[in-house]
Structure 1
Amino acid sequence: MTTVDFPEHNVGPSCKGKRIGYFREAAGYTRYKSAYQAGFDQLPAPREAVDVPTRFGTVRAYRFGEGGGTPLVLLPGRQAATPMWAANLAGLLEVRPVITLDLLGEPGLSVQSEPFTDGLDQAAWLAEALRGLQPGPVHLLGVSIGGWAAVNLAVHHPDRVASLAILDAPSVFGGFSWKMIAVSLGSVLPGMPERWRNKLLSWISGGVTAPEDAPEGKLIASGMRDFAAYLPMTKQPTKQQLSAITAPVLGIYAGRSIVHDSRRIVAKARKALPAAQLEVWPEASHAINGEFPQEIADRMRKFLADAS
């Protein structure tokens, strides 16, 4: 077990109005820290934990695994953080060293200090953090909104990206379904009963795992309840921006996703990025990383072998 070093975070009503992410009250941050530590206990021991300074705040990063080579950087989904990769790290570490980041402005141990205006700012903090961690470009694997963040980085800072893999990422080749909009609106209601939050999480994951039974589910539920985020509207890249991406791209979409119609999204993606490797996994839900960890590790091994 690795004891997590928790930072002094943005906590309490004094943060309201600053347009930065914060925990609504001290009790909520305490609850979140407990869920984060429980989730982190499921991970392999990191080689290093570091808080990387950027113009927009400090970014919590962890290095896993030994050996050289270009690392694989993992970007989590919305209201998630590093512990969400519990099912994936062992398999991915057989492929290459891994760096995980907690997204700035989302629940996690990254601490935002300046507001974001647009997608340029959201690409800037990530580029600055990666520059502080690794001198050259990195391989990126992002799930859900972490996939959008990876693509957004490739659009605005292509020099930081060696390759790009995304798992059921929204707002890249198309918008959200009405189902996902309903979930998103429900997740930001501070007074929502916990059992309703659990139902929302179970719906997102196709009903395969009750959130209260999984540490990462408890972490996301606490993020939904206890954290207030102030993020710009997620903007879909233009066709011109997508076509300008030169890094190798792997896009895996979930056939049972509530976020979008994956087959329609992949058909659009093939027109925007004809050289990309694009797939629909019919049995996967939006919780694809937890459902198919070994298959994802195997697919990443092949993709990175071809991309390197």
Structure 2
Amino acid sequence: MSTVPDTRPPVTQVPLSDAALPPVDMSIPPWPGADETSGGVRLHVRRTPGPADAEATAVYVHGLGGSATNWTDLAGQLSGYVPGVAIDLPGFGRSEPPEGFDYSMPAHADVVARFVRGLGVGPVHLFGNSMGGAISVLLAARHPELVRTLTLISPAMPDLRPAFSRMSDPRLPLAFLPLVGPRVRQRLAKEHVDQRVLRLLRLCFAEPDRIPQSRKDEAAREAEEREAMAWANPALAGSTLGLFRTWLAPRSRSLWTLAPTIEVPTLVVWGTEDKLVTVRKAPRTARLLPRGRLLVLPRTGHVAQMERPGTVARAVLGMWEEVAAGRW
């Protein structure tokens, strides 16, 4: 049987910057947080200080079940170059959702766009992980004037063949399904918080044993805090369903169709050991983005910004340097 050769152009790799960065210190606590209103939207945000003369601000958007604390280490690495604003999406972290919020991906993207516009800092360096990556794709496609550069870390691009076989606990795929998911999550929630946190870390990290105890303790405290929030479970269930609906959207509204319309410089980062969003989608994602480049990290899972913050920071700075030099 003959095969048709792949004539698509190769994905250009991103250079890693030689810029000075502080040593990665995963023992630092999360950046201070507060509720802020911007563009008529009220969210809980964690701000990272940066140079007063920085040309732009970084905005960080977490994934499904995550929060602004997912960006602690990467934001710290980049704080010598840009100030940062890590947001808790509606219903996640400490952001109480507005009444009637529908948790669709367009609704989340609209909230982030309104918040960013209200900041009044010009186009931003936008970062998105997992579901936050899908939200960032929607935002960049619909509001290009708000985005200076885009960094997508394991973005949740449509995939109707997820690799559930790679998950260590067979119950986890069921927990994300619309009908049976709530019952499965209720059973999982009855387990001790340390067990739940360990399961989550094993799902998201390639090398969970290397996570410092301080980060595990933070995750446990955050899980216990969310248990007291009445909106936490509806937000998780609604956003899961909203993400699935985005995957099933007609071709005209698919993220795969929107990606080629994004003209801003884009860095795509993926871990080879990602159990949630397969690395098989990485080359296609980068190729479809007109100014996309790809960084694939070995021994890395779903949250490269948490597992390899130093390397991701150097890749981001490499992108910014290439853009400034007119080579991206």
Please, what TM-score do these two structures have when normalized by structure 2?
A: 0.70
- CA distance in 2 between counterparts of 1:247 and 1:176 reads 28
Matching residue's letter, 2:242: M
Residue 260 of structure 1, aligned match among 264, 272, 277: 277
Q: By how many angstroms is 1:110 displaced?
A: 4.5
| Aligned pair partner of 2:29 in 27, 38, 42 | 42
Q: How does 1:69-218 map to 2 (within 5 A)?
A: 69-116=55-102, 118-171=104-157, 176-178=162-164, 179=166, 182-183=171-172, 185-186=174-175, 189-192=185-188, 193-194=191-192, 196-204=195-203, 205-209=205-209, 214-218=216-220
Deviation at 1:61, TM superposition (A): 2.4
Amino acid corresponding to residue 190 of structure 1 in structure 2: Q
* 1:273–1:291 Cα change, 3 Å: same
Aligned residue identity for 1:52: T
Question: Residue type of the partner of 1:306?
Answer: E
Segments of structure 2 that go 5 or more residues without pairing to the other structure are: 1-25, 177-181, 248-253
Q: Which runs of 5+ in 1 are unaligned?
A: 1-38
| SS of residue paired to 1:277 | strand
The CA distance in 2 between the partners of 1:184 and 1:67, in whole Å, is 45
Distance 1:118 1:109 in 2: 16
The answer to whether the 8 Å contact 2:268/2:286 transfers is no
SS in 2 for 1:74: strand
Indicate conservation of the 8 Å contact 2:35/2:42, yes or no.
no
Query: Contact between 1:102 and 1:110, CA under 8 Å: does it hold in 2?
Result: no
- 8 Å contact from structure 1 (residues 253, 281) kept in 2: yes
Task: Report the AA paired with residue 206 of structure 1.
Answer: A
Distance 1:118 1:91 in 2: 32
TM-score (norm 1): 0.74
Which protein has greater RCO, CA pairs closer than 8 Å, 6+ apart? 2
CA-atom RMSD in angstroms = 3.1
Q: CA deviation at 1:248?
A: 0.7
Task: Say if 2:258 is the partner of 1:241.
Answer: yes
| Deviation of 1:186 (Å) | 3.5
Counterparts of 1:127 and 1:117 in 2: how far apart (Å)? 15
Residues 267 and 96 of structure 1, relative CA distance in 2, 3 Å threshold: same
Q: Deviations over 1:204-249 (max 9, x none)?
A: 1235147975234225534775521122421143433111111111
Structure-2 change in CA distance of 1:80 and 1:138 (3 Å) = same
Q: Which shows bigger deviation, 193-202 or 180-189? A: 180-189
Counterparts in 2 of 1:86 and 1:121: CA distance versus 1, 3 Å:
closer
Q: Is the 8 A contact 2:129 2:154 kept in 1?
A: yes
The reply on whether 1:52 has 2:37 as its aligned counterpart is yes
- Give the AA of the match of 1:259: L
Matched with 1:295 is: 311
Residues 88-129 of structure 1: CA deviation (Å, up to 9, x unaligned): 232110221111111123233354333226332222111111
CA contact (8 A) 2:90 2:96 kept: yes
Distance 1:40 1:126, change over 3 A: farther
2: CA distance, partners of 1:89 / 1:244: 28
Q: Kindly provide the amino acid, as one letter, of the partner of residue 36 in structure 2.
A: D
